[in-house]
Structure 1
Amino acid sequence: MERYTKISTSKWQSKYSEEFKRFVCNDFLTGTLTRREVEDKYNIGHSRITYWLKKLGFDYSKPSIVALPSMKNQRTKLLITKEEDSLLHLKKELEEARLLVETYRRMIAIAEQEFKIKIVKKSNTK
């Protein structure tokens, strides 16, 4: 890969190829090195990478620092997950209770047919 083509003999007026610029920007974006470490690694001027990233469409004016979630948010998330877990548990219990009721109804209906007796009482009797 051609690193750069020099128009002038001065270091500051050297022009880097587009391929090299993209390679350095890609190395910075995908690597674990900081901007300064990449600049030192490829022996390019300071703030060159920032300029190239802006030129290629990446906005890197401010370094992105990943904010850690606060403990309050974690507690809230834990409460929400506990509430969701309890809600799911209650829904499961309700479904099991409905199935059990349906099972009892069918057992009574089968027993009434086979033994020819009335098990279910009428609602208006005294």
Structure 2
Amino acid sequence: MDYKTDYLQRNLYTLELQHQICKEHIQEGVKLADLVRKYRLTSHSLIHDWLRKLGYLPGRNRRTQVLYIGPENYSSVNKKTDKTKAELSEIAALKKELEDAKLLAEGYRRMIEIAEKELK
């Protein structure tokens, strides 16, 4: 889709086309210059931005500041949930130990009170 004014011609590319171009470059190894000619892109830096924006490459997209959303980040989410499960079990064990310590402290407090009453 072309958007034209007297001073500027800006091409707007669909998301599907952006994905198609990125996949051609990544999977088939087509050179950036060939893709620029084939799809009549304004520059090869568009493809670099799309690769980052759509998560094909790590790094920030210089136009939208989008973070890399590759598969490594998805696998780290699973690691976080595994850690969370381990942490939850540790928290439960610590709570039980705390309850036991409170009961023991209460027992000692009562023993001290009884001993003080007997000494008076």
TM-score by length of 1: 0.43
